[in-house]
Amino acid sequence: MDAVSFAQDIRPLFRDKDLNSMSWAVDLASYDDVKTHAEGIYNRLSRGNMPCDGAWPDDRTALFRRWMDQGYAP
Ligand code: HEM
């Protein structure tokens, strides 16, 4: 499988609602911001308490983890 990229694979997972709800803490549209907060974001995703209106399916959270583990490709 190709390397997981922020622009191609991760950014499209965040809805406008996610961007708007989280802008006080992290800009989910920003590569730098998501990279900086990646551990905290992953913790929320994997525990299932973010997004606040429904957990991501496991394969989607695993994709985010893979993006981290592969070194945060832009
Ligand atoms: C994929 C989408 C989302 C991600 C990755 C995400 C991630 C996070 C993270 C990392 C925090 C902790 C921030 C901090 O304390 O610095 C947080 C807090 C919070 N988020 Fe989200 N969020 C998402 C979507 C949403 C949505 C859709 C809502 C509500 C409509 C929401 C509401 C909140 C609220 C109210 C808090 C503060 C209370 C708490 O810590 O539980 N988030 N979120």
pLDDT digits (tens, 9 = 90+) for 22-73: 999 999 999 999 999 999 999 999 999 999 999 999 999 999 999 999 999 9
Query: Residue 46's domain spans which residues?
Result: 6-69
Total domains present in the chain: 1
CA of 32 from ligand 1 middle (Å) equals 17
15 lines ligand 1 (CB under 6 A): no
Q: Which two tokens stand for residue 43?
A: 């913790």
CA of 26 from ligand 1 middle (Å) equals 9
1 assigned to some structural domain: no
> pLDDT tens for residues 1-20?
679 999 999 999 999 999 99
Which pTM value belongs to this model?
0.96
How far is residue 21's CA from residue 65's CA, in Å, rounded to a whole number?
Answer: 22
Cα 16 to the center of its chain, rounded Å:
13
Pocket-testing residue among 13, 21, 46, ligand 1, by greatest number of atoms within 8 A of Cβ: 21
56 assigned to some structural domain: yes
